[in-house]
Structure 1
């Protein structure tokens, strides 16, 4: 059965309604609301950014690898105005200062694959060092509301690239996320036809997503599914990519099998997620195309720690395979991005993903780059996130030790600064 073409409701009304509903589901409504709402949506507050000087720490620039002792970082209105050695940076006389002596100073980290469904999860992500992130999808557009929360009250959420709802064969209750999705429930085979695939993408685009999320394989985290089973063909993936590109958006793709990975990459996705069994042929194609690899080592390692024997064995089997794939990708020059795939109310520190990148064989600086400069490029945030340089966001981590010697210090930042506000 095909889906009858139908235009979405008028943009202003739709965006207002969806934002209000997703905000309520995400628990962000109180933070979003202030004053009187208008026809264009909830009333907006100016973002609460800060003025701060981070003084005396050892500053690492992930882009260059340069280390500056007794460094000064000056943040005004949430943006870095100067960063460097003390004798080259003017400190404003009235500045509020954060003492970083004896600490290492890094930019806030980036989680390139995370599921933020609530305001509590968003706050937890920031406090664990992820000051920027990319959504791996939510069931009811909660990430749209979390993105808005981050804009209005940065200390409560990472700056976020939202993916909206998953383009997947079985939407389940997600058909209730938007009235324009409900006709899909009548499809016997689910979201598989070109028309159905285009509809889910178009609804996402109408709701203002930044990226589109789809899949090529079943899930590894469900014992009754086989993650090597392919659910979309190359032609179907190409439909998703083409529909997303018409809206100016890239696609991230959940994947496991080598054939699935290759189909996804050659269909034109922007980033390959998980990708446990990605092979050399596909990695060479990724390098040629500039396709990113977000392996979510944290999630795969977590399977081995579950009580379910099927999932535990899957995790033990998959992790060394994925580690080899990550190292091969790095050695070939495939761009890597760190992502925890956190979901279900439990947020893993993005520093854990960096630690696992290091364990897979990446040099410490390159592992750090997967959660800073590399991830920033994937998210289109180079120039905003990933460094503490003039014009970049005033997002700072204070660490207890040298991350180049021991990347595990990234898992437990001593202090987080978000847009110039120390948490």
Structure 2
């Protein structure tokens, strides 16, 4: 059986119903309703829709040491002026002079370092609570590594309406994988795939999942070439899609103007994925030199998710713990080799399951792999922003960039570990505060 003759994904009513269900699962509707309530607005919390849906806040961050990841420039006694959620000016107090507005809230950062909010290029945000936790840990922009029922698309809409509640998000929708499992229940347009004896493997079936994702508003497409490392009964070196199948996924995504991120481990799998035209290689523990050279030639990004691999070593399952101990040093060597060849690198934690790891920890691991501290920081700022298509608006605190700010207690170039413990987080000009228990 196949899905070759199944009509294309249908229109607006189906999309509206699917995404309403995703919002209910993610809990974003309730958060938006609370944020928009008169009680929330009168209590001083930024209400969704104040001054227009998703309008940013006004804030002056003053007195800290400003770091620009793009240039490495450090500015003492700096001032960052944010209005409407956008940076209008940034630099030394002496240079800005009278360009600092009065009667605007002020965040005093004396004795601290100021840098742009961080980017997590591979995270699974299934709920509003996870999204807010990510922001509190310094993630102000992110790319989804897929969700089972389009929850990431709901989280993306939450971020647009109430930016202090969630990172700006590039959503991947549902995973393009041979066995969709319960994801078949996510959308009636996926139901015909339940008839397939061998799962989602034919060109028609692969194209179908991509098209449904795009019809539901996905910004990118997530697929895999290998089995998972985080499941002890799977072999992460076993290949599940070949070059031809991966090429079909990439072609379908490109027809919709989207790129593909690909879960990978084995060298052959990595090479097949890269030569098929993916936009970024995820995990990639055993990526080899020939594939890294191909990535450099194609400008394919490498998102190694060192945090996730390191976390396996702490598993109570002996198979997973051994994988973590074995894979991490191999992956660190691959990261350093990629950096030395000029392959673009992006930080991603692969956080999922209700636990959000600070992307600052990924920067720490990039540095431990051999990257200079500034280059490690760029994997979670300018480099990651470029991967997400946000290079002109995210990753720096300069005029016209997003008013996303991280304030930390120390020099991140001397100790990247300070990035894991933000003193203050600003998202679109709003100070984000931890909610009382």
CA distance in structure 1 between the aligned counterparts of 2:232 and 2:287, rounded to whole angstroms: 21
Q: C-alpha displacement at 1:228, in angstroms? A: 0.1
- 1:48, CA displacement in angstroms? 4.6
Q: Residues 158 and 166 of structure 2 are in contact (CA less than 8 Å); yes or no, is this contact kept in structure 1?
A: yes
The answer to whether 1:398 aligns with 2:399 is: no
Q: Could you tell me whether the CA contact under 8 Å between 2:31 and 2:128 is conserved in 1?
A: no
Mapped partners of 1:420, 1:68: distance in 2: 20
2:246–2:273 Cα contact (<8 Å) kept: yes
* Partner Cα distance (1:191, 1:391) in 2: 43
Q: Secondary structure at the match of 2:192?
A: helix
Q: How does 1:379-390 map to 2 (within 5 A)?
A: 379-390=388-399
Question: Which residue does the alignment assign to 1:65?
Answer: 72
> 1:412 & 1:15 partners in 2: Cα distance?
39
Residue aligned with 2:179, SS: coil
Aligned to 1:13: 13
Residue 29 (structure 1) shift: 1.1
1: CA distance, partners of 2:101 / 2:168: 27
| Unmatched runs of 5 consecutive residues or more in structure 2 | 38-47, 433-437
SS of equivalent to 1:134: strand
Residue number among 78, 87, 90 corresponding to 1:83 in the alignment: 90
Q: Please report how far the alpha carbon of residue 7 of structure 1 lies from its aligned counterpart in structure 2 after TM superposition.
A: 2.3
Structure 1 window deviating more from structure 2 (216-225 vs 87-96): it is: 87-96
Question: How far apart, in 1, do the equivalents of 2:425 and 2:71 lie?
Answer: 22
Residue 138 (structure 2) pairs with residue 129 (structure 1): yes
- Residue 247 (1) aligns with residue 256 (2): yes
Alignment match, 1:145:
154
Question: What does residue 38 of structure 1 align with?
Answer: none
Alignment TM-score, normalising by the size of structure 2 = 0.94
List 4+ stretches of structure 1 deviating above 4 A.
none
Residue-by-residue CA offset, 1:111-164 (whole Å, 9 max, x unaligned): 000000001000000000000000000000000000000000011100000000
Q: How many angstroms apart in 2 are the aligned matches of 1:171 and 1:31?
A: 29
1:77-116 alpha-carbon deviations (Å, 9 max, x no partner): 0000000010111211222111000000010000000000
- Would you say the 8 A contact 1:55–1:97 is kept in 2? yes
Secondary structure at 1:62 match in 2? coil
Structure 2 CA distance, aligned partners of 1:236 and 1:9?
A: 24
Residue in 2 that maps onto 1:259: 268
Within 1, Cα distance between the matches of 2:8 and 2:24?
26
- Structure 1: how far apart are the matches of 2:251 and 2:105? 49
**8 Å contact from structure 2 (residues 349, 359) kept in 1:** yes
Aligned 8 A contact 1:32 1:148 in 2: no
- 1:77 & 1:198 partners in 2: Cα distance? 40
Aligned to 1:404, the other structure's residue is in SS state: coil
Partner of 1:372: 381
Q: Secondary structure at the match of 2:403?
A: coil
Q: Say which of 277, 280, 284 aligns to 1:268.
A: 277
Superposed CA RMSD: 1.1
Report what 1:40 is aligned to. none
Task: Give the superposition deviation at 1:9.
Answer: 2.0
TM-score of the two chains, using structure 1 as the length reference: 0.97
Report the counterpart of residue 47 of structure 1 in structure 2.
54
CA distance in 2, matches of 1:280, 1:226: 22
